Amino acid sequence: MEYKKLGNTDLELSAITYGAFAIGGNMWGGNEERDSIESVVASLENGVTTLDTAPFYGFGLSEEIVGKAIKGRDRSKIQLLTKFGMIWDESNHGKGDYFFDTEKDGLKTPVYKYSGKASVIQEVENSLIRLGTDYIDLLQIHWPDSTTPIEETMEAMEILLQQGKIRAAGVCNYSVEQLQTANKTVSIASNQVPYSMLKRDIEKELIPYSIKNNFGIIAYSPMERGLLTGKYFTKGNLKSNDHRNNYFGQYDMAKVKAVVDSLIPIAESKKVSVPQLVLRWTTLQPGITVVLAGARNATQAEENAAAIQVSLSAEELTFMNQELIRFGF
């Protein structure tokens, strides 16, 4: 495994970071807790030291599973990343920006983006309990909340830093302007944003700015939630309550398939899988600090971790980038 320093902090994160969205189950067609725990354990045993989760993933379930998986392990050798600001609790309905409706316990449940100071501090207390720890390595606002001044949210992070409950403060899905505003109140370590072979818009402004100002970039959905594995080009592979039924609709499947097909010869020549090739490509892009990779069982986790061993030359990277441009990405 490779390890990278996160922004201006002393945190060293694994280049392949475990993404714990899917093990929460909600929006992913459910989960199997035993498989989920085994996927976290397998990641840790194969060099992945960084785990990224959030309260919203499974309405607390993802954090609880991560907590169970790391129980009894040397906490100092694990970096726990979590978030705040996606609220589903009834007491908070009406506060913040309405985001979307999801399903909880068979009922339609509205989700809000809300990051008022008191709410942030309470969310962290709840996360610490679920994770079974007394500190969080990197705390991140999940989504911008237009109803709360950025300064107020960042003041909450500063309080938590002073209390020792978090080691570093980060943001997710922030623009350069929002990042600049946040950094005036608290020292921002990183910005977690979507980035993949199919979604490269951050290369225009955010990545150059982040490199210049030493902000870490945590890339999420590098596999486009499984689309770049090639497993989902035909209908019927997903459960009806899996959000990817709609998510995949943003892409021209013929073009995506062409991209995947162009990668197969390279992967075969290196005796690796296409997903491993995609993950490795992502870790090698300028400005990317770490890449999130989800896994729902131990086998997937082991494969993700092994992606870091894939060797790609400058010529091969250039060829892959040219293919992406040729297919419109």
8 Å CB contact between 149 and 170: no
Question: Which residues neighbour 287 within 8 Å (Cβ) at sequence distance 6 or greater?
Answer: 207, 208, 210, 211, 217
Greatest distance between any 2 Cα atoms in the chain: 56
Query: Tokens at residue 146, please?
Result: 């237009």
Altogether, the residues listed in the chain come to a count of 329
Q: Which of 151, 188, 196, 159 is nearest to 172 (CA)?
A: 188
Give the helix/strand (H/E) hosting 107: strand 107-113
Map tokens 């892409």 to a residue: 251
The H helix count followed by the E strand count for the chain is 11, 13
Percent composition of the chain: helix, strand, coil (DSSP 3-state, to 5): 45, 20, 35
Please check whether residue 44 is in contact with residue 200, taking contact to mean a CB–CB distance below 8 angstroms.
no
- Enter the DSSP assignment of 289: -
Helix (H, G, I), strand (E, B) or coil at 201: helix
Q: Which residues are catalytic?
A: 57
* Whether the Cβ atoms of residue 81 and residue 140 lie closer than 8 Å to each other: yes
Cα(253)–Cα(317) distance, integer angstroms: 23
**From CA 6, how far away is CA 213, in angstroms rounded?**
12
